[in-house]
Structure 1
Amino acid sequence: MDITSARTFLEVVKTGSFAAAAANLHVTQTAIGARIRVLEQELGRPLFVRNKLGTQLTAAGQKFHCFAISLVRLSEQAVRSIALPHEQEAVISIGTELSISDPLVPLWLVWMRRTYPQFALSVRVDTAERLIDQVQEGLLDAAILYGAPRKIGLIAELIFEEKLVLAEAKGSTQSAASHETVRIDWGEEFSDAFHAAFPAAPPSSVAVSYGPLALEYILAVGGRGYFRRGFIKPYLKDGLLTLVPNSPEFSYSAYVIHSARADENIIVHVREGLRASSAGMAD
């Protein structure tokens, strides 16, 4: 069975239409239809029903879905494994959100390289939604996310519990910027909790989706914002930041997610490395 056709099938399932799958795969819609027809001929059953509601799986398509994921996973693993130097056993591939990558992922890479040099390592930074898709499709062994997604077939394990704390630049000038709270995007759950805690807070004139960038801005011009406690720990120690007294703290826990069908021999090493690395963050 052609791996390209299996990937095409999964893309149609993910996007819900032949047109969207064609756009994502950079091919024509005709090519998508041809690949799906080949699959249907091989399997002897229609895989999709196309109507005004979009493209939906038939009963046969639903059964084939898990096999398509396995086919793609095995193909990816085979390509990676065959290309490895003879002294390495396998590739461990993980994904991470940008906001959680520093310092956890660098610590994990160093720990894994020192502890299990027989494994090649691959790290991909992407959005939570795309990482979840890649774990489900078998393109990643695991992904590190803030928040545990509730998806059938996925297992989420707590890695560490983090707190978001309100910190401000120490010794700020008396400019308007020095008293402003920079809005940092920590997700919908944090946004809801923040507005519940500060219902009268005025809109911020500065909004940043990446914590380290917001921190650079605050250190340069003054102001305050919510940051991961572990991330700003060195800045608090050096006196560059100070915690705002009596301000609420918000939970922001990190999870490793993997498929229920993932290779446990790989996941056990990922889990071990992440827990060791998170312990290193607390030191």
Structure 2
Amino acid sequence: MDVDLARTFLEIVSTRSFVRAAERLNVAQTTVSARIRTLEDQLGRSLFVRNKGGATLTPAGEQLLRYAPTFVQLWERVRHQVAVPEGHQSVLAIGSEISLWQPLLLDWVLWMRRNIPQTALRVHVDVPQDLIDQVASGLVDAAVMYAPPHRPGLKVDLLLDEKLVLVTTADAASPDSETSFVGMEWGPHFSQDFASSFPGAPHPGVSFNLGPLALSYLLAAGGSGYFRMRAVEQLVQQGRLRLVPGQPQFSYPIHVVYSSDLDDALIQPAIAGLRLVAGGRRAPLPPDGLSA
């Protein structure tokens, strides 16, 4: 089966539409239809029922769905594993969500280069939904994520349970104080816990969905906000921020997600290194680098 046929099949399953699948694949709808006809001819079965509501799988399509993701993952893994740079023995694609790249992903890359130099690295940083799709498709072998969804063929291991702590540029502050509070979107669990802990807190005048940007704003404009402890501890040590005493801290569990059929000899040493750096081995912040 041609990998483009498999990808097209999976896009239709995901979008439930030939039209939307064509848009996501950046091809004409006629191309999508032709690919599915070719796939159906090869298998001798109809795969979709098309109606006004979109496209739904036939029983044969349901069976193909069990194998198509693995086929695409295998092809992508083969494609980037055979492209081993000179002087290396293997290639590993690792990544993280945007808000987790510094310091965790950076420390991981540094550890890998020092301890497993024979493995070439491809490093990806992306938004959560795209990143989990890349892991599922084999474009990324392992990624550091907050609350990744469970998918068939993927393993999700808890890496560390980090804390979100309240920090301020002033002597003391809380979300309902006069000091400006900088909002940060840490996911639905944080929103629920925050609302329970601060029922009377007003909505922040400024909020962000990207930690580094929120932290840069806080340092420039002043105020308080919740950030990952690992991201602010150096700034606290430098006196640029202060931890607010007596305020609740919130759980922020971080996971590593990877394909269940990866070669253990390749992935397990890398994950062992990730656990080491997550346990406290740090790289210094770049001169202009901020994290959140």
TM-score normalised by the chain length of structure 2: 0.88
CA displacement, residues 2-23 of structure 1 (integer Å, 9 cap, x when unaligned) = 2211111122122221111100
C-alpha separation between the residues in 2 aligned to 1:146 and 1:54?
32
Q: 1:148 Cα deviation (Å)? A: 4.3
Question: Which residue identity is paired with 1:20?
Answer: R
Pair 1:34 & 2:50 matched: no
Within 5 Å, give how 1:47-86 maps onto structure 2.
47-86=47-86
2:279 is paired with a residue whose SS is helix
Question: Which residue identity is paired with 1:9?
Answer: F
CA displacement, residues 148-193 of structure 1 (integer Å, 9 cap, x when unaligned) = 4233443210111100000001469xxxx97011101111111111
Higher normalized helix content (fraction of residues): 1
Which segments of 5 or more consecutive residues in structure 2 lack a partner in the other structure?
284-292
Q: 1:86 Cα deviation (Å)? A: 4.2
Query: Which residue number in structure 1 is paired with residue 268 of structure 2?
Result: 268
Distance 1:281 1:200, change over 3 A: farther
Q: 1:50 Cα deviation (Å)? A: 1.9
1:179 is paired with a residue whose SS is coil
Query: Which residue number in structure 2 is paired with residue 209 of structure 1?
Result: 209
Within 5 Å, give how 1:155-234 maps onto structure 2.
155-170=155-170, 179-234=179-234
Question: Which residue identity is paired with 1:271?
Answer: I
Query: Which residue number in structure 2 is paired with residue 89 of structure 1?
Result: 89
Conservation of the 8 A alpha-carbon contact between 1:103 and 1:281: no
Q: Percent identity?
A: 45
Query: Which residue number in structure 2 is paired with residue 103 of structure 1?
Result: 103
TM-score normalised by the chain length of structure 1: 0.91
Which segments of 5 or more consecutive residues in structure 1 lack a partner in the other structure?
none
Distance 1:203 1:237, change over 3 A: same
Query: Which residue number in structure 2 is paired with residue 146 of structure 1?
Result: 146
Question: Which residue identity is paired with 2:80?
Answer: R
Higher mean C-alpha deviation, range 144-153 or range 118-127: 144-153
C-alpha separation between the residues in 2 aligned to 1:99 and 1:18?
34
C-alpha separation between the residues in 1 aligned to 2:263 and 2:61?
25
Q: 1:37 Cα deviation (Å)? A: 0.7
Question: Which residue identity is paired with 2:198?
Answer: F
Aligned pairs, number: 279
Distance 1:85 1:152, change over 3 A: closer
Distance 1:80 1:155, change over 3 A: closer
Distance 1:12 1:236, change over 3 A: same
CA displacement, residues 41-81 of structure 1 (integer Å, 9 cap, x when unaligned) = 11111122223442222222222224322332232233323
Q: 1:226 Cα deviation (Å)? A: 0.1
CA displacement, residues 195-220 of structure 1 (integer Å, 9 cap, x when unaligned) = 11111101111111112222222222
Question: Which residue identity is paired with 1:221?
Answer: A
C-alpha separation between the residues in 1 aligned to 2:120 and 2:28?
36
